[in-house]
Structure 1
Amino acid sequence: MDKKITFKPFGKKAILIEWDAIIDEEILNDILNFKQKIEDNLDVLFTDLIVGYNSLTIKLIDEWSNFLILESKLKNIYKSKLQVKKEVNYLWKIPVCYDSAFGIDLEEISHKTNFTKQEIVKLHSEKIYTVFFIGFLPGFLYLGGLNPQIFVDRKSNPRLKVEKGAVAIGGQQTGVYPTESSGGWNIIGKTPIDFFNIEKQNPCFAKAGDKIKFLSISKNEFYLIEKEIAKGDYQLSKSILDD
């Protein structure tokens, strides 16, 4: 195999496949390629394939009867030279207002990192982030690529209420709360964009392998976009990623 991966039973109707425990785009691409091979192979009957930072969980239709036989089959699929059709991935441009009214933890982060609030915003918004997987809440994107200079530990006492659209930093990660929830990440801004809408055919617009670019906007721009979204007039900016 190209990479060291392990196969483990995950109950009687699931298999957990794990790569090295690091956040790495090369590993993500290997996971997504393996996922596509499984989807294209009729010998493995599954209900769901769940991507993690360094894992792929296969939820099977039926209980496996012999794990070693299934493991061997999956290893052969992984090693196969099958050319899979690559999914189209997008770069999504997400407007974010970093005003102190929304970025309620910017002052605290500034003290911890010795950067000004303006410098924190610049360091956060100048990066292009990779969507590794979706979890925690429906539509919560786990993003890789945060500048190490603004790594900030999660709060020791999580908030009971974090607003929908809050943009936050938790350890080595950044993300957006798709709905109001409790949470322990450090809030640096807010986006008016819906990251999860059950009424749409695809409730979450992004998927693993996509990219995210945050665009800094003013409070006035935030409220204008919010109104456009409410009227159904706002079109989220996206472009196809090159191979």
Structure 2
Amino acid sequence: MHKKPTYKPFGNASILIEWQAIISEEILNDIILFKEKIQKEKSIVIADFIIGYNSLTLKYTNELSNYSDEIESLKSIYKQDFKLQKTEKFLWEIPVCYDLEFGIDLKEISEKSNLTIKEIIKLHSEKIYTVFFIGFLPGFLYLGGLDSKIHFDRKPNPRLKVAKGALAIGGKQTGVYPEASAGGWNIIGRTPIHFFNIKNENPCFAKAGDKIKFKPISLEEFYQTEKEIAENNYIISKTLRND
């Protein structure tokens, strides 16, 4: 069982709640449960909740005059018996082209890890990843579950521009760049899927607790899927999970 969270002021109108500094689904579930408890009791006074791997930041609508009292109130809420409302969790299947045209760091990873490119792709695509939180950029999903054989350090000098849809590895994590941006992760492929679209009711289709599975596709399939998406003729495959 993980340790109880700790609390500390975070600016004039925020409180940072932290759990053990590890990537753990047990901790993620505890964070989501605590968030639901707080929403039930304090939705009027809290403007935003920000989930991290092992943290929950509460941003209040007004400055806090007494942090000690508020933290005691939160500790009391944490202890409450509470049945988490059943929310739908999905497994999203994301098509990815691992062709060397897109996977521009695959050769380097292969050479330094003593794995073939085919082995890297297999290890990466056979896993089911957990969405822990969304950050860095809108729609950037931080995914846990990467096989330890393909953990690979971030680049010492980040690229000034990484393409939208680039699939990458950064240390123990993997993720997709939702927009073109600077970035220091190692690029192993690309997806035509839009991970963030401001025009949609839910701009990012996935949420913390969802799962992601990457499906290898050919270069030809990539461009075909990209065309279907541009014509609004593509729907991301998803499966409802009961766990």
TM class by shorter chain equals over 0.9
In 2, Cα distance between equivalents of 1:223 and 1:61: 45
Shift of 1:145: 0.3
1:190-201 matches, within 5 Å, as: 190-201=190-201
Match of 1:153 in 2: 153
Render the CA deviation track for 1:59-109: whole Å, top value 9, x for unaligned: 001211211111111011111002231321110000000001110100000
Unaligned runs of 5+ in 2: none
Matched, 1:65 2:62: no
Alpha-carbon contact 1:38-1:44 (below 8 Å) kept: no
Alpha-carbon contact 1:48-1:59 (below 8 Å) kept: yes
Match of 1:170 in 2: 170
Match of 1:53 in 2: 53
The aligned amino acid for 1:166 is A
Shift of 1:44: 6.4
SS of residue paired to 2:188: strand
Shift of 1:237: 0.4
In 2, Cα distance between equivalents of 1:76 and 1:165: 43
In 2, Cα distance between equivalents of 1:160 and 1:68: 43
Where do 4+ consecutive residues of structure 1 move more than 6 Å? none
SS of residue paired to 1:226: helix
In 2, Cα distance between equivalents of 1:174 and 1:42: 34
- Percentage identity across aligned positions? 64
The aligned amino acid for 1:85 is Q
Match of 1:98 in 2: 98
The aligned amino acid for 2:91 is L
Shift of 1:242: 1.1
Q: CA RMSD in A?
A: 1.3
TM-score, scaled to structure 2: 0.97
SS of residue paired to 1:209: coil
The aligned amino acid for 2:221 is E
Shift of 1:43: 7.3
Match of 2:232 in 1: 232
The aligned amino acid for 2:93 is K
Alpha-carbon contact 2:2-2:27 (below 8 Å) kept: no
In 1, Cα distance between equivalents of 2:74 and 2:87: 21
Match of 1:130 in 2: 130
User: Kindly tell me: are residues 64 and 73 of structure 1, through their superposed partners in 2, closer, same or farther at Cα, counting changes over 3 Å?
Assistant: same
SS of residue paired to 1:41: helix
Shift of 1:29: 0.4
